[in-house]
Homo-oligomer: A and B are copies of this chain.
Amino acid sequence: MIANALKDKPAKVVGIVHAETSTGAGQPLKDIASIVHDAGALLIVDAVTSLGGMKVDVDGWQIDACYSGTQKCLSCPPGLAPVTFSDDAVAAIENRKTKVQSWYLDISMIRKYWGSERLYHHTAPTNMNYALLESLRIIREEGLTKRWARRLANHKALRAGLSAIGIEYLAQAGYGLPMLNAVDIPEGVDDLKVRRQLLKEFNIEIGGGLGQFKGKAWRIGLMGSACTLSNVMLFLAALEKCLFDQGIDFERGASVAAAVEVGSK
């Protein structure tokens, strides 16, 4: 699809979201990068949701520009966007002919601020930099691969639990994200009532569907330090209560039983 689009209409840049939060689908970036580079374009990747929660092999996959956020799987307060650029991206920045229209994201100025020149560009949110440093320390203590494995294990337990009470995922098999579980809302269920009850009774917040999925999907996050088997089990138990309270028909207890079985492997 991308290859054909680039053949019809050559582009300098292709931008894509690695872990897409409205559908809970992940993109096979390695394959996409070759297609984009074969067409002579640069690849920009939004890794806001993926970084820290699953593999983001920026150099290995040949991503040219990659940005993320601190508030998802890095488990840090929101407010910063880590960025990185390939040599090709830096060359494109250096050779641009037109003036950058935004002061805020003028990378050529930000480079000079972060570089040895220390040319003033903005007042840095210093406390946020310390917060990010501490978050990265915590991630290093756990280890990146262990962190990815923890997320995947808890995702599998959640998926097994939801499946046991007939709740299926939006994303095509094999492309589901571990940290963002977007699922179909079962027929007859009052979306808003469930989400309000989860929040009020159990202090659990899940996301509603966006755009065409509004009222049709739930988005259940397993990000950062919130990604524990304990949270998965409590969520499933709480969801069963919400469904039970609405008189929905399902195999009671099945979701927690399935999650326990998968979570004990």
Are B123 and A69 closer than 8 Å at their CB atoms?
yes
Q: Which A residues between 101 and 146 are near B, CB-CB below 8 angstroms?
A: 101-102, 104-105, 123-128, 131
Among listed A27-35, A71-79, A157-165, A231-239, interface-contacting one? A71-79
Task: Report A126 CB to chain B, min CB distance, Å.
Answer: 6
Chain B residue contacts of A128, Cβ below 8 A:
77, 79, 125, 128
Contact of A125 among B77, B101, B104, B124 (CB under 8 A): B77
Q: Which A residues between 76 and 97 are near B, CB-CB below 8 angstroms?
A: 77-79
Chain B residue contacts of A127, Cβ below 8 A:
77-79, 131
* Complex CA–CA separation, A78 to B125 (angstroms): 5
Chain B residue contacts of A71, Cβ below 8 A:
123
* Complex CA–CA separation, A209 to B78 (angstroms): 34
Are B104 and A104 closer than 8 Å at their CB atoms?
yes
Task: Report A104 CB to chain B, min CB distance, Å.
Answer: 5
Q: Which of A77, A125, A126, A131 has the most CB of B within 10 A?
A: A125
Chain B residue contacts of A123, Cβ below 8 A:
69, 71, 78
* Complex CA–CA separation, A125 to B70 (angstroms): 10
Chain B residue contacts of A102, Cβ below 8 A:
101-102, 104
A81, closest chain B residue (CB): B123
Task: Report A180 CB to chain B, min CB distance, Å.
Answer: 14
A80, closest chain B residue (CB): B125
Chain B residue contacts of A125, Cβ below 8 A:
77-79, 125, 128
* Complex CA–CA separation, A71 to B79 (angstroms): 15
* Complex CA–CA separation, A124 to B71 (angstroms): 10
* Complex CA–CA separation, A77 to B79 (angstroms): 12
Complex interface bits, A28-65 against B, C-beta within 8 A gives 1, otherwise 0? 00000000000000000000000000000000000000
* Complex CA–CA separation, A63 to B184 (angstroms): 51
Task: Report A105 CB to chain B, min CB distance, Å.
Answer: 7
* Complex CA–CA separation, A71 to B125 (angstroms): 9
A48, closest chain B residue (CB): B123
Task: Report A49 CB to chain B, min CB distance, Å.
Answer: 11
Q: Which 7 A-B pairs have the closest CB atoms?
A: A79-B125, A77-B127, A104-B104, A78-B123, A102-B102, A101-B101, A78-B125
Q: A77-B126, A127-B131 are in contact. List 14 more A-B contacts (CB 8 A).
A: A69-B123, A77-B125, A77-B128, A78-B124, A78-B126, A79-B79, A79-B125, A101-B101, A101-B102, A102-B102, A102-B104, A125-B125, A125-B128, A128-B128
Q: Which residues of A contact B (CB under 8 A)?
A: 69, 71, 77-79, 101-102, 104-105, 123-128, 131
